[in-house]
Amino acid sequence: MKSLAIVGLGYVGLPLSLQFSRSGCRVLGLDIDSKKTDAINAGRSYIKHITPAAVAEQRAAGRLEASVDFSRAKEVEAIILCVPTPLNAFREPDLSYVLNTGRALAPHLSKGVLVVLESTTYPGTTDGELRAVLEEGSGLKAGVDFHLAFSPEREDPGNPDSKVASIPKVVGGLTPACLDKALALYGIAIQKLVPVSSCRVAEATKLLENIFRSVNIALVNELKVVYAAMGIDIWEVIEAAKTKPFGYMPFYPGPGLGGHCIPIDPFYLTWKAREFGQHTRFIELAGEINTAMPDYVVKIAFEALNNDGKAVKNARVLILGLAYKANVDDDRESPSYKLIEKFEALGAKVAYHDPFVPVIPLTREHAIYAGRKSITEITPDYDLIVLSTGHEAYKEFDFTAYPMPVIDTRNCLRRRPAKYHKA
């Protein structure tokens, strides 16, 4: 297999495109955002942890190009979909990106082409909704005229040890022949493949991975609140517990969940489970605990300001970190947005600082903040500072002379002020 198209050139699609290109494939990146396609064709990167040189190298080799023209899908032997799968306003799955992409590609599918979905979703999406729009729009039959498979993405932004080629790839096909075709594709670029019996098993695998994290993070978030009431530092407890060499895996609390997976994916299963008369109580409870964490941070902030003789209303509040994770520029579903929203609703005047997100981009969930800029310097000119993201730059920042309360939600700061609080 020498040519493929990757649809969706974000945090999943661009690294995958580069890995296939480095492995000798001719890769056509497709996206509706011309800024992304133009950047790739100019040999530039728009994601912090991907260097411009990595893109330029593959462009110069003639193995990577990008386009907004989906009709070009007819030129390739395989198509991989890496598009968003968010939740709607009612916290229900929004498959519009997957299905609209399928409709755009369907008229241009060639016989024998392989279509793989990588976007996280509930079991039954690939062989159900996606299959239906591809067959309807192409006149071809999945498993007969074209191949169909699901292989969940496993990206870990900000982790220098996480490489696309070395992350084991779970693959499930509609038919045994579809599976073989998908394994042959991924075998070009990925070192270890994990074949499973169906698309639904592969879809369920990704949900299990992220539900596992969501539930365990909820557990330590709940224990954080309980132990704090007892005067016990959850972070010290975790450090002690993780010395056990068996039966324990450390998870860490925070101000809420962020990223494109953990705050969203569990709800794909809770929604689908209702169709089968099942109630996912454990998953939903974890979601309730995690989504309540910004309120807990605001409560600690309220108490800190009150002890300092100040009210929340008209208080000058600085949020440190807008990205959802340390040392990345990915702000998707970041709990920092919730903190800004809640503080401003209480009448505070909020600014933010983030060296990786200098300007807030336009997002579906927080469009009102688009264009707001990070302050350039962390000064003492605030009534309260809240560290929301544990960027490396904050760890050694000297807060010792800062007079205001500083709330650390990540146990990040080493040079702490007198009025230091954990939340």
* Residue numbers annotated as active site: 261
Question: H-helix or E-strand containing 420?
Answer: strand 420-422
CA 45 to chain centre: 18
Sheet bearing 349-353, strands edge to edge: 349-353, 316-320, 384-387, 406-408, 420-422
Do residues 27 and 21 lie in contact, with contact meaning Cβ atoms separated by under 8 Å?
Answer: yes
The residue type of 37 is T
By the 10 Å C-beta count (0-12 exposed, 13-18 middle, 19+ buried), 145 is classed as middle
Do residues 21 and 59 lie in contact, with contact meaning Cβ atoms separated by under 8 Å?
Answer: no
Bridge partners of residue 195, in order along the sequence:
171
Bridge partners of residue 316, in order along the sequence:
349
Measured CA to CA, the distance from residue 132 to residue 139 in angstroms comes to: 10
SS3 sequence of 85-153: CCECCCCCECCHHHHHHHHHHHHHCCCCCEEEECCCCCCCHHHHHHHHHHHHHHCCCECCCEEEEECCC
Measured CA to CA, the distance from residue 286 to residue 291 in angstroms comes to: 9
Do residues 70 and 29 lie in contact, with contact meaning Cβ atoms separated by under 8 Å?
Answer: no
Measured CA to CA, the distance from residue 243 to residue 262 in angstroms comes to: 26
Sheet bearing 114-117, strands edge to edge: 64-67, 26-30, 3-7, 78-81, 114-117, 147-150, 169-173, 193-196
Helix, coil or strand: residue 169: strand
What six digits make up the tokens of 422?
């954990």
Helix, coil or strand: residue 267: helix
Neighbouring CB atoms inside 10 A of 313's CB total 10
